[in-house]
Each structure stands twice: as structure tokens, then as C-alpha cells.
Amino acid sequence: MTTSLLAAGTVGNPAANIAIFALFVVVTMVVVIRASRNNATASDYFTGGRGFSGPQNGIAIAGDYLSAASFLGIAGAIAVYGYDGFLYSIGFLVAWLVALLLVAEMLRNTGKFTMADVLSFRLRERPVRTAAALSTLTVSLFYLLAQMAGAGGLVALLLDIDSRAGQSLVIAVVGVLMIVYVLVGGMKGTTWVQIIKAVLLIAGAAFMTVLVLAKFGFNLSEILGSAQQMVSGSANDAVASRDVLAPGAQYGANETSKLNFLSLGLALVLGTAGLPHVLMRFYTVPTAKEARRSVVWAIALIGAFYLFTLVLGYGAAAIVGPDRILAAAGGQNSAAPLLAFELGGVLLLGIISAVAFATILAVVAGLTITASASFAHDIYASVIKRGKVEENAQVRVSRITAVVIGLLAIGLGILANGQNIAFLVALAFAVAAAANLPTIVYSPVLAAVQHHRRAVEHVRRSDLDHRADRVLPGRVRQQVGHAPGHGLRLVPAVQPRNRLHPLGFRPRHRRHPGRWRQARGPGQGRGDGSSLAHRCGRGEGRRALTVHPPELSRARHPAGPGTTP
């Protein structure tokens, strides 16, 4: 049977693989339709109404983050390269500590729908929203291309479709399902798809891990020893010379490869916390505490999954062997499916195949809603319409954008079929690490610098105003500070909270934040219009303007309004 499998270039029964995948599509479509009933507002569509708990969002984050490359690619890399293949798992997992410590709470506290909401909270809104939206679209497009191209490669192995036209058709089917999920379910439906996919993926990996351990008597040392024997007996001299526990098989050949590994490690560790579809998941929980809980759950689930891939990778090397893996149609990506076929036959292979397709489907759905939300909320609503847009129009534009992005992803995915998937994924992580994460982390620093400049200018002007009060004669000051018939007078803002903020921010009423705060004084606050506080612009000094009736002004200052008492 093994010989026929290799000759055909596929494993198992393609009809069974398709049937199990179709069952997954039907179940998730029912869930998406039920979830779409509650999409009444823009918040419901973009963030699921912020109604998910920390554990639910953590499972969804794991489902959104664990792509087909994480499952098929890492297991295959460990089976072929040993220790160097596991370095991917380390980078992917450590990255979540950066997300937990630097990003999660800040995003939930300051953001609304997209990454640009955090940046525009402190920086100039329109330029930073445009830049953030372009970065989001770029990262999402690279990641979409990698997933769509991966779908074409996976088809050749699991469904026995070797023709270019057949693979293109499957890519189109994945793209259409992705569009339907986003149009119908929004973020809520997409989240439930990711939760179901995460449960299936982690449960399937755990089940295969138990089978591998049971085959070797739950002795990890025996697994490693058998893997080393299979590697040493390889017909390929380059493979036979490798030590499965020694570093350098993939990245230690020369200084350039070592530098490439350092660059890859930085991109993996720093890029995860800047991926837009990961950042958007922090908006689906009600509080910052739940955002932190969701990251903790995600770290636990993702860490457990990568430990499973360690056993699966070495188990594939010990049971299947590197020669069979490299000779299969999918190359390294065939390690997990071949291992599933050896452990559980056609049924287990069909389940793992369906999980792999579900993984691609859930990830591309999350990427699509992230990209469409960024365009609709950041570019259309905030930049083009300048915030003057209704929620229904914003959601409608997002859905139209999702269709456009889906069609674009299908076309580019067909063109990218057969390309280096790792390169496309690395592009997405590199842009996220170089552009998104530093901007998010340093945005408070940039805002502090701008605030410091305004404060320095404010102090300088305040000092000039104070000197002018001492030097200018009273009659000149009277002309400057007096409004005929109203007794307008410059009053020192000793209690800025009772009048105006010294930097010119609009004062807020304690009980009614939307109202102006009125200045209080003897005989004031009776509703007779005896006093009214006026807004002071930025940088106009530490003096507030208060209007007194002429009688009260003459009673306080007999020499006339505008003079120094």
C-alpha cells in the first residue's frame, strides 16, 4: 500500500477527505447563520458585540493563529531537520509574551474596532489612520496569499488533484466560503468558526500525540532513538548526516544562514504582536481584564499544541521516515497526513485532512474581516467621510470590501500557487514587526513628546502674559481685557477645574460630562446668566475668561474693569 500511495502522490481516500470537510462546512455554516441574527450594529459586526469571555476569545485566538503552516509545516520541519524545525515553535510561542505584556491591555483600553484606533487616540488622526490601514491591508494580503497558496498545495496531497485547473478550483471554493462566512456572520460568526476549528485542531493533534506515545510505550527517548535511526539510514547523504537533537541542520551551514535565522526569529517574536487579525481579537472582549485572560488562555493552548507538534514531528521521522516524507507530493507538509494514515488509516487521515482545510478556512476568514473592517472604519468612515457616516453605511462598505478582497485573494492565490509559502508568511511577519508593533508600543512616547512641546509653549506664553500684566499700564490693559457693556475681565485660573483647563481642553461637568462647566462665584450659578465661562484655545496661557455683569464688576473693582485690584 505504501508504494501505491507514493506512486499516486496522494494518501488515503480522497472521497472520504472531501466528505469530512463538507461536514465541517455544513456545521460551521449553521453556526454562522445562527450567530448572524444578533448583528444589529457596527460593534456587533466588527467585534461581535464585545460579548465573548476571556476563555472563549483565547480559544478563538488560538484558532486564528494556528494556521496550516503551524500544523503541517512545523511537524514536517521537525521530522526532516530535527531541532532547527522546532525553533519555529519557540518563536511562535514566545511572541505571545510580547503580546501579553505590551499590547493586549493597551489595545482594549484605547481601541474600538481596528489597530488605527489606538494610534489615532494619541497621534494626528487622518494621517495615522491612512498609514495604519495601508499596513493592515498589506500584512493581510501577504498572509492571505500564503494561506490560499497553501490550500493549492494541500489539495495535491490530500484530494489527488494534480492539475493546475483543479487546484485553482479548490482555491476558488475556499475563497467563496471565506466571503460567505464574513458576509453572513461578521466577527461573531468568524469567531465561532475559529473556536470550532481550534477545538478540532488541538483535539486531533492531542489524539495523534497519544497514539504516537502509546506506540513507543510512552517513552520519549525511544521515539528520539527511532527517529535518529531512520534519519541515519536515509538514502540522502545530507539527511543521513544530521543529528535530530543538534542545531544547525537548516540554519548552521554558514554565517549567512545564521543571520537569516536571527532575522527570522525577530520577525516571529515581534511580528505576532503586530498582526492585525490577531490584534483585532482583543476588541471582542468587554474589558481589559478579559483581554489579558484571553491571552493567557491562548498561550496555554498554543504552547500545548506546539508540544504536540514536537512529538508528532519526531514521531513522523521515526514511523514514516524522512525519505517517504520528502518523496510525497506535499514534501515536508505531508509529514502529519502520512503519520495520521499510519496511525489510524483512512478515517484518521480524513479527519486530519478536514482539520487542515478548516484551519485554512478559519484563518482566511479572520484575515478578510480584519482587512475589510480596516478599510471601512479607517479609510472610508474616518478619512473620506471624516467621521460623518452612519453605522449601517460603514457595515455595508465593509461587506463590499470583503467581497473585493476575497476575489482579489482568489486571483492572486491562483497566481501564487506553487510559490514559497514560508517566504509569503515571512513577509507578513516582517511588515508587522517593522511597522505595526513599534508604532503601537511607542505611540505613548510620541504623544508625550507632543504634549511636552505644547506644555513648553504654554509655559512660555504664560510667562509673557504675566510680564505684560506687570509692565502695561492699566488703561492699556483695560482696552485689551474689557468688552464694553459686559465687564469682560482676565481672571487668574487659580482653580482651573472651576473654570477652564490651563492647556485649553474643554472642561467637563462631573455629573454631566457633555456639558460646559460654568465658573462659580458669589451670586453666580442661579441660572440668571450672571457668569459664563468661555473656552480658551490651546497655548493661550493660564488665564480663563469670565463674563461678569457691569454692576458686579464695578462693585468688586471700583477703579473700573480691566484694572489690577
What domains appear along the chain, each with residue ranges and CATH number? Answer: 10-35+47-437 (1.20.1730.10), 472-556 (no CATH)
Predicted confidence (pLDDT) at residue 384 exceeds the cutoff of 70 = yes
pLDDT recorded at residue 353: 80
d(CA 298, CA 284): 14
pLDDT recorded at residue 215: 94
* 204: confidence class by pLDDT, cuts 50, 70, 90: very high
d(CA 536, CA 118): 27
Predicted confidence (pLDDT) at residue 178 exceeds the cutoff of 50 = yes
pLDDT recorded at residue 525: 41
Give me the mean pLDDT over the 447-466 stretch: 60
The full DSSP string for 50-113 is G---HHHHHHHHHHHH--HIIIIIHHHHHHHHTHHHHHHHHHHHHHHHHIIIIIHHHHHHH-SS
pLDDT recorded at residue 280: 84
Half-sphere exposure of 558 (CA within 13 A, CB side): 0
Instruction: Taking each helix axis as running N to C, give the angle between helix 164-215 and helix 335-374, from 0 to 180 degrees, rounded to the nearest 10.
Output: 120
Percent of the chain with pLDDT over 90: 16
Q: Residues with Cβ < 8 Å from 148, sequence gap 6 or more?
A: 171, 174, 175, 360, 364, 409, 410, 412, 413, 414, 416, 417
pLDDT recorded at residue 7: 37
DSSP-H helix ranges across 111-219? 115-120, 125-158, 164-215
pLDDT, tens digit, 9 for 90 and up, residues 458-510: 655 665 555 545 444 444 443 333 344 444 444 443 433 333 333 333 444 44
Sign of CA dihedral 437, 422, 281, 134: positive
Which range has the top average pLDDT, 65-74, 84-93, 106-115, 305-314?
A: 305-314
- Asked if 62 contacts 305 with a C-beta cutoff of 8 angstroms, the reply is yes
* 300: confidence class by pLDDT, cuts 50, 70, 90: very high
pTM of the full structure: 0.73
Lowest mean pLDDT segment, chosen from 169-183, 217-231, 252-266 = 252-266
pLDDT recorded at residue 237: 81
pLDDT recorded at residue 90: 86
**DSSP-derived 3-state class of residue 167:** helix
Closest C-alpha to 430, from 264, 262, 256, 280: 264
Lowest mean pLDDT segment, chosen from 191-195, 261-265, 268-272, 527-531 = 527-531
pLDDT, tens digit, 9 for 90 and up, residues 123-172: 777 888 898 889 999 999 888 888 887 777 776 666 767 778 888 888 88
pLDDT, tens digit, 9 for 90 and up, residues 13-65: 777 777 888 888 888 888 888 877 777 777 788 778 778 888 999 999 998 88
pLDDT recorded at residue 315: 95
pLDDT recorded at residue 114: 82
- Asked if 315 contacts 212 with a C-beta cutoff of 8 angstroms, the reply is yes
- Asked if 93 contacts 299 with a C-beta cutoff of 8 angstroms, the reply is yes
**DSSP-derived 3-state class of residue 9:** coil
Closest C-alpha to 301, from 63, 28, 54: 63
* 522: confidence class by pLDDT, cuts 50, 70, 90: very low
Q: Over the chain, what is the mean pLDDT? A: 76
pLDDT, tens digit, 9 for 90 and up, residues 228-256: 999 998 888 878 888 888 888 877 777 88
pLDDT recorded at residue 152: 72
Which range has the top average pLDDT, 28-37, 107-116, 394-403, 534-543?
A: 394-403
Q: Which residues, listed in sequence order, are joined to residue 384 by a DSSP beta bridge?
A: none
pLDDT recorded at residue 413: 86
